[in-house]
Structure 1
Amino acid sequence: MPEGRAKRPPLTPGPDGIVRLAGGNPQIAKGYGDEVVQRYIAAMPGWQRGVGQTLDAIITREVPGVSKAVKWNTPFYGLEKDVYFVSYHCMTKYVKVAFHNGTQLDPKPPGTSKQAAVRYLDIYEHDDIDEEQFADWIRQASALPGEKM
């Protein structure tokens, strides 16, 4: 550790036994399937849990048989194991949805990325989710090649 830098205290679990990382993102062990994604959603803080439930419901409805996983404390959705088209993550004030080939969606999600093909949708506490637009993006994204993760 560089001299003069204080060692950060270890993160401690919340009342539910789950550690929250920066921005309140739940620390959930890597795993595959709906159960691990539901564990992540249940651990999302406050209003973000409702966003996670809504996103998961739309993705599951629009892509029957969707493959789900949690990796790097983030839920991923795809059509085959380890190949994904969308994911989301808790930030301090919003939920960040990543469309892995989002530049190919029409219209493109509003948030740009340092990664050439990725586009983001940031959902803040008082935002109304345009469920029809989100469902359309999910249908489009699931028809594109996914990203190997």
Structure 2
Amino acid sequence: MAKETSKKSATVAKKPDAKPVAAKAAKPRKEVAKSADAKPILLSGGNPQIAKGYGDAPVQAYIAAMPGWKSDLGRRLDALIARTVPGVRKAVKWNSPFYGLEDNVWFLSLHCFTKYVKVTFFRGTSLRPVPLGASKHPEVRYLDIYEGQLDEAQFADWVKQASQLPGERM
């Protein structure tokens, strides 16, 4: 009978060890869950951290997460691009919205900074007039848009020109 008791004791001793391990494994899953109303993460300079994705939804998520006046500017830029280039394709890559006419072939992108929004024209040296922001890449030109300084007519003209040029494959 002593042998049976020792076997039961050994079995009982193993059961308590199994329960805490199972409880510890389940606990982190609950901690990782995020609430639907969580604020977006802003990276250096106020650029929203948005997961890579294709289509309008990730671009709209990026625009909604742009801080302050930049969100309104992002909506205006997006609407101008969509109006100027029917059927434009959109994506978020490297925490920036991209616009093009084919999958993975882009003519411009946006990026949010602390005091301005940077528009990158991938074939900017072919635009007339050439946007002023130079780049270390020979064909790229930048347009830095500060609060209240968007020239919609000029921007729409550049978008139309850029959409008619060969895009940048990325």
Q: State the TM-score bracket (shorter-chain normalisation).
A: 0.7 to 0.9
1:41 aligns with 2:63: yes
Structure of higher RCO (CA pairs closer than 8 Å, 6+ residues apart): 1
1:21 aligns with 2:43: yes
1:107 aligns with 2:113: no
**Distance in 1 of aligned mates of 2:151 and 2:52:** 30
**Distance in 2 of aligned mates of 1:142 and 1:102:** 11
By percentage of residues, which structure has more helix?
Answer: 2
Shift of 1:55: 0.6
Give the secondary structure class of the aligned counterpart of 2:91.
strand
Q: Deviations over 1:99-126 (max 9, x none)?
A: 0000000000111111110000001123
**Displaced runs of 4+ in structure 1, greater than 3 A?**
none
Q: Structure 2 residue aligned with 1:138, among 153, 159, 163?
A: 159
Give the secondary structure class of the aligned counterpart of 1:23.
helix
- AA at the equivalent of 1:64: P
Give the secondary structure class of the aligned counterpart of 1:108.
coil
**Distance in 2 of aligned mates of 1:110 and 1:140:** 16
What fraction of aligned residue pairs are identical, expressed as a percent?
66
Give the secondary structure class of the aligned counterpart of 1:53.
helix
**Runs of 5+ consecutive residues of structure 1 not aligned to the other structure:** 1-14
1:79 aligns with 2:105: no
**Distance in 2 of aligned mates of 1:85 and 1:145:** 8
Match of 1:7 in 2: none
**Runs of 5+ consecutive residues of structure 2 not aligned to the other structure:** 1-36
Q: How many residues align?
A: 134
Shift of 1:50: 1.1
Q: TM-score of the superposition, structure 2-length normalised? A: 0.77
1:50 aligns with 2:72: yes
**Distance in 1 of aligned mates of 2:98 and 2:136:** 19
CA RMSD of aligned residues (A): 0.9
Give the secondary structure class of the aligned counterpart of 1:27.
coil
Match of 1:89 in 2: 111
**Distance in 2 of aligned mates of 1:115 and 1:47:** 29
Give the secondary structure class of the aligned counterpart of 2:90.
strand
Shift of 1:18: 1.5
